[in-house]
Amino acid sequence: MRIPLSAPDIAEAEIDAVTAVLRTPSLSLGPRLPEFEGAFAARAGSRHAVAVSSGTAGLHLGVRACGIGPGDEVITTPFSFVASANAILYERGVPVFVDVERDSLNIDPSRIEAAITPRTRAILPVHVFGRPAPMEPILEIAARRGLAVLEDACEALGAEVGGHAAGTLGRCGVFGFYPNKQITTGEGGMIVTNDDDVAALCRSLRNHGRDDGAPAMEHARLGYNYRLSEIACALGMAQLGRLDRLLQDRASVARRYHERLEGCAGLILPAMDPPGARVSWFVYVVRLGEGWTRVERDRIVAEMESRGIGCRPYFPVLHLQPHLRAALGHEPGDFPEAESAADRTLALPFHGRLRDAEIEEVCATLLDLLRTGR
């Protein structure tokens, strides 16, 4: 693609940090790990941060830490990346989907109560596209019904809701550092929590079930190799040091898109400044108007890509993914708001270094196809 869908923002500071680690004998479980965790916890305002190999690994350990087991139900959204539901399935739990709000595309808290059963153990909201989910009513329901809250903040580093960092309001929250995220470690993720027991369990589980301070070959429980390397931690530290600028650059690109596309008939833009929240721009996703179909949307995607412009439908709904549909028995029409949005969403090229000329070409091409693509 001449204009790729995403691109990491790597500076000389990151290259120097990685090179410095390569000149040491410690490539895993060295000093950069606690350094990165401490800096991240301080930035998030949480008591603990536990670095792991991916956001998906973090969600899995979060599900474990919330005590989810076979047959336990976890209420979550059908409009997300598949990892948020897969993490529940890993522990043989049952994802229970609740439809989304039409405007925000986040889980609709007014529908949660009706989905609660005697098997419900937790709520897993997702801060979709970096826009915070409505946490106040979710937390109120969870407290009243005795449910854990696990926040999927993998797309939302830097987002805020009610003056608090997204990801820090539940029992634990999870961030992701894939190359298209606000900061990247190549692959990687972070669990944040204020619960000492949750933090200790996640640290043990990520390292083959070994407790901190235990002999090297003593393992207290079944665990995983979900460690994050020293190289990745050094990269993350350098990126975290530039986080404010990275967030500003991404917000600037989002605003330039908004200014160029605002007022276009048949195009629904993401809210720049939703009330009571701060968006952290992970992607810039627009929606075609109500009259457009998925076939027409897909035709626009294909045409933009044929012109060298990265473009992608974002997201297909989870309940109709083949393995989830087979496991849970859902049919088209079960979650109409999520399905309607999924049929019409369109992710445009997005990263902090996108140039004005590239934004102009993307917008001009999209508007031309909207006029002629039907």
Share above pLDDT 70 across residues of the chain, in percent, rounded to a whole number? 99
Confidence of residue 372 (pLDDT cuts 50, 70, 90): confident
Residue 58 belongs to what domain range? 12-99+106-241
Q: Are residues 71 and 161 in the same domain?
A: yes
The reported pLDDT for the residue numbered 290 is 86
Q: Are residues 176 and 42 in the same domain?
A: yes
The reported pLDDT for the residue numbered 307 is 96
Active site residues: 181
Q: Are residues 155 and 203 in the same domain?
A: yes
φ, ψ of residue 352 in degrees (nearest 5): -70, -15
CA-wise closest residue to 99 among 292, 338, 263: 338
| Helical axes 12-22 vs 230-241, angle rounded to 10° | 150
Residue that terminates a domain, selected from 218, 241, 264: 241
- Residue 63 tokens read as 């599900």
CB 240 within 8 A of CB 49: no
- The terminus-to-terminus CA distance of the chain in angstroms comes to 24
The reported pLDDT for the residue numbered 216 is 85
pLDDT single digits (tens) 192-222: 999 999 999 999 999 999 998 888 899 999 9
pLDDT single digits (tens) 38-78: 999 999 999 999 999 999 999 999 999 999 999 999 999 99
Q: What is the DSSP string of 134-198?
A: -HHHHHHHHHHHT-EEEEE-TT-TT-EETTEETTSSSSEEEEE--TTSSS--SS-EEEEES-HHH
pLDDT at 138 over 70: yes
User: What residues contact residue 19 under an 8 Å CB cut-off, 6+ apart?
Assistant: none
Measured between alpha carbons, how far is 182 from 228 in angstroms, rounded to an integer? Answer: 18
> Please, what is the average pLDDT of the chain?
97
Alpha helix segments (H runs only) across 287-329: 294-306, 322-328
pLDDT at 186 over 60: yes
User: What residues contact residue 183 under an 8 Å CB cut-off, 6+ apart?
Assistant: 157, 177, 236, 239, 240, 242, 243, 246
Q: Are residues 188 and 88 in the same domain?
A: yes
CA-wise closest residue to 35 among 232, 176, 213: 232
Residue that terminates a domain, selected from 197, 223, 241: 241
The reported pLDDT for the residue numbered 373 is 66
Q: Are residues 234 and 254 in the same domain?
A: no
Q: Are residues 206 and 82 in the same domain?
A: yes
Measured between alpha carbons, how far is 186 from 17 in angstroms, rounded to an integer? Answer: 14
Q: Are residues 143 and 212 in the same domain?
A: yes
Q: Are residues 229 and 248 in the same domain?
A: no
Taking residues 71-98, what's their average pLDDT? 98
Taking residues 27-38, what's their average pLDDT? 97
Where is 95: in which H helix or E strand? strand 94-97
| Helical axes 55-65 vs 196-206, angle rounded to 10° | 130
Q: Can you tell me which residue has the tokens 């690109």?
A: 253
pTM, full prediction: 0.97
Share above pLDDT 90 across residues of the chain, in percent, rounded to a whole number? 96
Q: How many CB atoms lie within 10 A of CB 298?
A: 13
**Total domains, the chain:** 2
CATH of the domain at 301: 3.90.1150.10
Q: Are residues 299 and 329 in the same domain?
A: yes
Residue that terminates a domain, selected from 195, 212, 241: 241
- Residue 100 tokens read as 């989304």
pLDDT single digits (tens) 251-301: 999 999 999 999 998 899 999 999 999 999 999 999 999 889 999 999 999
Measured between alpha carbons, how far is 343 from 327 in angstroms, rounded to an integer? Answer: 23
Torsion of CA 40, 168, 98, 339, to 10 degrees: -40
Which one-letter DSSP state was computed for residue 130? G
Q: Per the domain annotation, does 5 fall within a domain?
A: no
pLDDT at 374 over 70: no
pLDDT at 303 over 80: yes
Confidence of residue 26 (pLDDT cuts 50, 70, 90): very high
